[in-house]
Amino acid sequence: MTDPNALSPLDLETPEKPFLDANELVINMGPQHPATHGVLRVILRLDGEKVLGLECVIGYLHRGVEKIGENRTYAMFNPYVDRMDYVAAVSNGLGYCEAVEKLLNVEAPPRAQYVRVILTELNRLTSHQLWLGTHALDIGAITPLFYTFRDREEILKIFEKYCGARLTTHAFRIGGLQYETYSGFEQEVKNFLNFFRPKIDEYEELLTTNRIWVERTKKVGVISGADCIALGVTGPVLRASGVKWDLRKAQPYSVYSKFDFEIPTGQNGDTYDRYLVRMAEMRQSVRIIEQAVEAIPEGPIMAKVPKVIKPPVGEIYHSIEAPKGELGYFIVSDGSTQPYRVRVRPPSFVNLQALDVMCRGAMVADVVAVIGTLDIVLGEVDR
């Protein structure tokens, strides 16, 4: 390896070398490894503790979700998308429903839109909580995990009360919502926000100024904004590199244009900035939910959608800002009840590309930190 920062394909075929060769060590990290967040396999090439290069091997969780989509009706495919990013199932559902609605040329009624925003932002909180807990655990701090899971439980209770499921919620339907909100929904969301606001400070107290945490995350896994754009990296990772790009503001969907919120950005594009950006995003999500829950309009929750959904011939690409980045659905319709092709642009899969760039020249411990900070979900990477 002449230039460790060069973006060249890795030569992982090691030639025959004598026993006890002290130059390079090739390690398989995963697919069964506590810190690869599922079944990611990373082939590491090490010089002692230093990473010379790495390659991700994915596909251990491949279920052919896109192919399944071609053999299901539009409504039947809706629950499948929850299983991609199972940590943020509501966001997946929102993206899919909106894409099909665009294809059908219908729009969900305002009340449904507001409830959608509330649930999606709550889901962003759960996703970020899970990221924070596991990321801190990877870096060696075990306690934040339990704090975040304690508070995540309160959100899952709201989901459960609303639609019966906690994780893979299938909360939305094409054209609106299936269920009216339960009585006391608004109050419960407000109660949760009041409960949760000081909890973000509690998480930050444990980590933000912790000397070891700062040392472990600052200048680790640095990626520039230009590199992010070149690799297609989106979401908090992109924003932490100084690019102010959030689809909720850049191309507002649903009713996001009606709310007042900011896009937190970082400057250095390192793990610490990504941490700060996500923490700030949680606060912004709280702000959005606060405004939305005050302004839920009365009215129907379902638009006029035919019983059998047969979109006109055509294609659509619709993307939303999922907790992990840009989640896009490209759906081709041939006029039948089943999509001709569903292509998902998952943020985790695209962001994972940056792992090699971010890890070259770093230490083994940094690889774990970077995998954590990319916030990947293997269900979404492999689909």
Partner 1 sequence: MGQIIEYIKSYLDSNQTPGAAGNMFWAFVYIVLVFLGLSVAVIAMNWLERKILAHMQVRLGPMRVGPHGLLQPIADAIKLLLKEDIMPAEADPLVFWMAPLLVVLAAFTVFVVVPFGPTHAITDMNIGILFMLGVSSLSVLGVVMAGWASNSHYPLIGALRSSAQMVSYEVAMGLAVVSAILMTSLNAEGTGTLSMIGIVQAQQAQGEWFIFKFFPLGLIAFFIFAVAMVAETNRAPFDLPEAESELTAGFHTEYSGFRWSLFFLAEYSAMIAVSSIAVTLWLGGWLRPFSTWLSGSTWDLFFSLFPGITFLFLAGMCFYSTAHMPKHPYFRIQTVGLAGFGAVLGLIGLLLFFPLVRDRVGDIYWFSVKVAGFMYLYIWYRGTFPRYRFDQLMKVGWKILLPMGLGVLILTASVALLQQKIWHP
Binding site for partner 1 (CB under 8 A): 25, 27, 33-35, 46, 48-49, 136-143, 145-147, 150, 206-207, 210, 212-213, 215-216, 363-368
Q: Smallest gap, in angstroms, from Cβ of residue 146 to partner 1?
A: 4
Only one residue has tokens 């409830």, namely 115
Q: Which residues, including other chains, have CB under 8 Å from residue 183's CB and lie 6 or more apart?
A: none
- Of 113 and 148, nearer to partner 1 (C-beta) is 148
Minimum CB–partner distance for residue 17 and partner 1 (Å): 15
- CB closer to partner 1, 142 vs 308: 142
- Helices and strands, number each (H, E), in the chain: 15, 8
Query: Cβ 356 to partner 1, closest distance in Å?
Result: 18
Minimum distance from residue 219 beta carbon to partner 1 (Å):
11
Nearer to partner 1, 100 or 136 (CB): 136
Residues 201/147, Cβ–Cβ less than 8 Å: no
Q: Do the Cβ atoms of 22 and 47 come closer than 8 Å? A: no
Nearer to partner 1, 47 or 294 (CB): 47
* Residue type at 171 in one-letter notation: A
Give the whole-angstrom CA distance, residue 126 versus residue 133.
11
Residue 285 CB, nearest approach to partner 1 (Å):
23
Q: Which is closer to partner 1, CB of 58 or CB of 136?
A: 136
Residue with Cβ nearer partner 1 (125 or 362): 362
Whether the bond between 31 and the residue before it is cis, its omega within 30 degrees of 0, is yes
Q: Which is nearer to partner 1, 211 or 307 (CB)?
A: 211
Q: How far is the CB of 210 from partner 1 (least distance, A)?
A: 7
Between 147 and 340, CB nearer to partner 1: 147
CB of 135 to partner 1, least distance (A): 10
CB 245 within 8 A of CB 107: no
Give φ, ψ of 380 to 5 degrees: -85, -35
Taking Cα atoms as reference points, which of 167, 86, 46, 131 lies closest to residue 371? 131
Question: HSE (CB half, 13 Å, CA atoms) of 146?
Answer: 3
Tell me the Cα Rg of the chain: 21
Centre a 10 Å sphere on the Cβ of residue 212 and count the other Cβ atoms it contains.
11
Q: Which residue has the tokens 């302004």?
A: 295
- Closest by alpha carbon to 72, among 100, 105, 101, 104? 100
102, β-bridge pairs: none
CB 362, min distance to partner 1, A? 9
Residue number with CB closer to partner 1 (165 or 365): 365
Query: How many angstroms separate the CA atoms of 172 and 89, rounded?
Result: 10
Give residue 114's identity as a one-letter amino acid code: Y
Report the Cα–Cα distance between both ends of the chain, in Å, rounded: 33
Handedness of CA 199, 325, 56, 225 (dihedral sign): negative
Q: CB of residue 195 vs partner 1: minimum separation in angstroms?
A: 14
